[in-house]
Chain A
């Protein structure tokens, strides 16, 4: 068992710690973005304190196949019947900051149904629930970093952030990657959505190219004839600094 633990008792503490690269300015959302009203009371006002990476930051939880069921990556087969809506395949690759595959890594997704309603007690949008759709999936990336889900295209839905506010259709993604610092929770959008310009959650990312990274692309290669449209969504997690950490 001890071989599966990262030892704290090396002769030279800290020598094996290779830090992860920091984000480029503008490529991540601002925490405080008043147009997204909930940030006004929930975003820190003090500057963050820069933390040098130690074993605590460069290690992270590992998830195996033990809790993944074959139906977890097909959201259309989790109930007695098929959900209503447009069946889609979402496929992509998880890479690190150097373009290397992130393999055997947990991805969890959740989403609204085709009518724009979540199977959640607190969603009171007056759109129909679908008894054949929960909207939850999980999978591990394969050895080359690829994943895929079968689901239905989620609907747009209103929220109360501002007058006549609507969220563009999206699927929530949660990824761990190899370390505490590679944890990522994000949202995947669909190409050409007219709601992008009005959505403060997407617009909270200052850099336009960075925003575009959250928009999946229609992919004929992923599309299956006579069955479902395919969308491609690649995800990049933070990579390590190229040179080992020097004391």
Chain B
């Protein structure tokens, strides 16, 4: 009998995701004390098609270190200097905040160089398959030549650019609009 290796379909994470994934398994610190680089905080705020905060979503982040390298060691290790991975459930106001360092530039595709970015997954009730987007740092000169931003229509590019918190310049904020007029750009990865 020939086996069929079509990938298993996705299903929503549902409203009780916390039980399995974040109550005891959150990872807030993407980079620990020993990690080199510019320390930053990333605040995501998830909003639905009517602009209402989504209090039962989960955000996962995956990023390179300050030199543009992706970590390949245990992401759940408490003392890891640099995990590269984080995940948090959103609060009642739809937001969650990670502590990390600003990533370096990452190569590819081809000879191109990618601007510093965070790879982001959004999961939640009503989200049947993971949504993927990226966070870029607003005002970063390398954004101008980033090959992925170049794929995004100019009038929607701003949805991927985090802005510094006026009260705290090391805290970057990105609103993620799941649907609607200001809808965030999501990628088919």
Contacts and interface: CB of A to CB of B under 8 A. Distances in A.
Interface of A: 2, 4-10, 13-14, 17, 22-24, 27-31, 33, 36-46, 48-57, 59-64, 66-67, 95-99, 108-110, 118-120, 122-123, 134-138, 172, 174, 180-181, 183-187, 201-202, 204-205, 209-211, 213-214, 235-239, 245, 247
A134 B156 CA distance: 43
Tell which of B19, B83, B114, B178 has the most Cβ of chain A within 10 Å: B19
B11 A62 contact: no
B107 interface: yes
Secondary structure dominating the interface of B: loop
A17 B62 contact: no
A246 to B, nearest CB: 9
A204 B128 CA distance: 8
Interface in B120-164: 121, 123-132, 148, 151-152, 156
Contacts, number: 276
B20 interface: yes
Contacts of A22: 188
Contact of B183 (A6, A45, A57, A214): A45
B10 interface: yes
Contacts of B183: 44-46
Nearest to B180: A45
A18 to B, nearest CB: 12
Given A29-B11, A33-B128, A56-B117, 20 more contacts: A5-B72, A13-B107, A13-B111, A30-B128, A36-B126, A38-B126, A42-B54, A46-B186, A55-B107, A60-B85, A108-B20, A110-B17, A122-B56, A135-B19, A174-B21, A180-B119, A183-B121, A213-B6, A237-B7, A247-B110
A138 B148 CA distance: 35
Interface residues of B, number: 85
A8 B3 contact: no
A201 B128 contact: yes
Interface stretch (B37-45, B63-71, B167-175): B63-71
Contacts of A29: 9-11, 128-129
13 contacts: A6-B70, A10-B107, A29-B10, A39-B126, A40-B126, A43-B126, A49-B188, A62-B74, A62-B75, A136-B19, A136-B20, A180-B189, A236-B7
Contact of B77 (A44, A49, A60, A64): A64
B110 A14 contact: yes
A96 B8 CA distance: 10
Contacts of B111: 13-14, 247
Q: Quick one: which of A27, A31, A97 has the most chain B CB within 10 A?
A: A31
A14 B111 CA distance: 7
A205 B3 CA distance: 20
Nearest to B117: A56
A190 to B, nearest CB: 14
B109 interface: yes
A63 B21 CA distance: 14
A69 to B, nearest CB: 11
Contacts of A67: 76-77
Contacts of B33: none
Interface string B1-28: 0011111111111111111110111000
Contact of A95 (B5, B75, B104, B127): B5
Contact of B19 (A6, A40, A134, A202): A134
Interface string B34-61: 0000000000000011101010100010
B12 A54 contact: no
Contacts of A54: 106-109, 114, 148
A43 B127 contact: yes
